[in-house]
A and B are shown apart, each in its own frame.
Chain A
């Protein structure tokens, strides 16, 4: 298993500003994922963050808007840049941990972002 923490847990930000979200894992992991969960919606994968290489972004997400850092095997940050009200969402990080027969995703508690 894995224990994942995120900071901040919530924030209210003004449009045009940026927010950096931190994700800390209690063990070393190769891959970390960042998801967005818009109000009442399912999870959408933003990007995959591997240590030592550039993050891989999903269609519709770009590095200029969501820069990601992965300085070591236990930590990652996601920045939401030049925010607009449409960025109001819960942002979650997750890591795949091998189980007995398959990988299981462990999630952080999420960062609830409101942009005014």
Chain B
């Protein structure tokens, strides 16, 4: 069945460091891919998305490129801030309205 695998956390970085959180997926068909972020004590918010191969989603300095050949959708940010500390979820939607989530990766950013 469809699934999402993302790197285990926690990831701890210093402020202004480069961030990569790896995400790979298994799906039949052509899914849409998403990154959601969950700040402490809050629900999930959509961070960015890509709906077809080679699309790049971007928001708030974060980027991810839909790579069909490697079935990946890695999240990157060039310079993280303390306020980016959160849990990040990679997810896919194959068109049936249901979203399949990865396990989540907790990011800590130290000042």
Contact = CB atoms under 8 A, between A and B. Distances in A.
B6 to A, nearest CB: 9
A103 B98 CA distance: 10
How many of chain A's residues touch chain B, expressed as a range? 20 to 34
Main secondary structure of the interface of B (DSSP, over half): strand
A19 to B, nearest CB: 18
Given A43-B89, A96-B97, A101-B51, A107 B104 contact: no
Interface of B: 32, 34, 36, 42-46, 49, 51, 89, 91, 93, 95, 97-99, 101-104
A41 interface: yes
Interface of A: 4, 31, 33, 41-43, 45, 48, 92, 94, 96, 99, 101-110
B103 A41 contact: yes
Query: What's the dominant secondary structure at chain A's contact region?
Result: strand
A8 to B, nearest CB: 14
Contact of A103 (B45, B93, B103): B93
